Structure 1
């Protein structure tokens, strides 16, 4: 794929990140909906978050709500500092 003037060359690494199961299911569904890899989706979310911006349009947020219902994801941002892994 030829580079354009807006292309930014990066180096990616493999990582072994553990995340909540239902959260991953929703993220994978969103990535599939947007025809992108999970890694590309996560990079976009993080880069937007670092700038205090939402990574998703109003329509995508509605779709995410549907995926959350499908996969039983009830966690909210306020829960993020109170999660404890089941043993």
Structure 2
């Protein structure tokens, strides 16, 4: 995932930090009428196509809900 993000940042002509900041800030902007379910995307159609290609190149087969299946460190969740 980091390789895809770094590649997309390079594609956009920005740093990884700038890309992450933009993604996070947009995640706080809900799509009107779909609050809590959707958020605004900071990416153009061209950037989304580049991201899809980078995901293919780096073998990233995750979708928007993939984090639900990630293992959690039980020590962190119990504290």
Could you say which TM-score interval applies, normalised by the shorter chain? 0.7 to 0.9
Structure 1: runs of 5 or more not aligned = 1-22
**1:49 and 2:27 correspond:** yes
CA RMSD of aligned residues (A): 1.2
Q: Equivalent residue for 2:63?
A: 76
> 2:5 corresponds to which residue?
27
Structure with greater proportional helix content: 2
Q: Is there any run of 5+ residues in structure 2 with no aligned partner, and where?
A: 30-38, 73-79
TM-score, normalised to structure 2's length?
0.74
Task: State the TM-score, normalized to the length of structure 1.
Answer: 0.68
Once the 2 structures are TM-superposed, how far is the Cα of residue 84 of structure 1 from its aligned partner? 2.2
